[in-house]
Amino acid sequence: NAGVMQNPRHLVRRRGQEARLRCSPMKGHSHVYWYRQLPEEGLKFMVYLQKENIIDESGMPKERFSAEFPKEGPSILRIQQVVRGDSAAYFCASSPTGSSTGELFFGEGSRLTVL
């Protein structure tokens, strides 16, 4: 099992462009979480998805950010019209049971730099 795969590992965008970050959960996991880590900050919850459903998006900024986890394919975090403040590391984690055991399996992260 290759673990949670995120791509791209590094992404550079200019202000106003779109960023798409992908996450393939571990095999057999149907729960996906996205976290953002800003410089000097911890991991901030953004969104929790199951296949074709958004369970909790309480941590998502109200504008420009969206996430999906389709029936087939990876989960995607999409940031439209990026601004410098979006520069951060974005981590995806997956779980077979929705964190009821507290164990999430993390990817290596995608580092977004906005110029």
Given the rule CB under 8 A, which residues bind other proteins?
3-4, 31, 33, 35, 41-45, 48, 55-56, 58, 91, 93, 98-108
CB of 22 to other proteins, least distance (A): 16
- Backbone conformation region of residue 102, classed left if phi is above 0, alpha if psi is from -120 to 50, else beta: left
User: What SS3 state is found at 106?
Assistant: strand
Which amino acid type is present at position 8?
Answer: P
Please say which residue, 17 or 89, places its beta carbon nearer to other proteins: 89
Nearest-Å Rg of the Cα atoms of the chain is 13
Please say which residue, 37 or 66, places its beta carbon nearer to other proteins: 37
Which amino acid type is present at position 108?
Answer: E
Please say which residue, 52 or 56, places its beta carbon nearer to other proteins: 56
Please say which residue, 34 or 82, places its beta carbon nearer to other proteins: 34
Tell me if 75 sits within 8 A of 69, measured CB to CB.
yes
CB of 11 to other proteins, least distance (A): 19
CB of 76 to other proteins, least distance (A): 19
Tell me if 4 sits within 8 A of 24, measured CB to CB.
yes
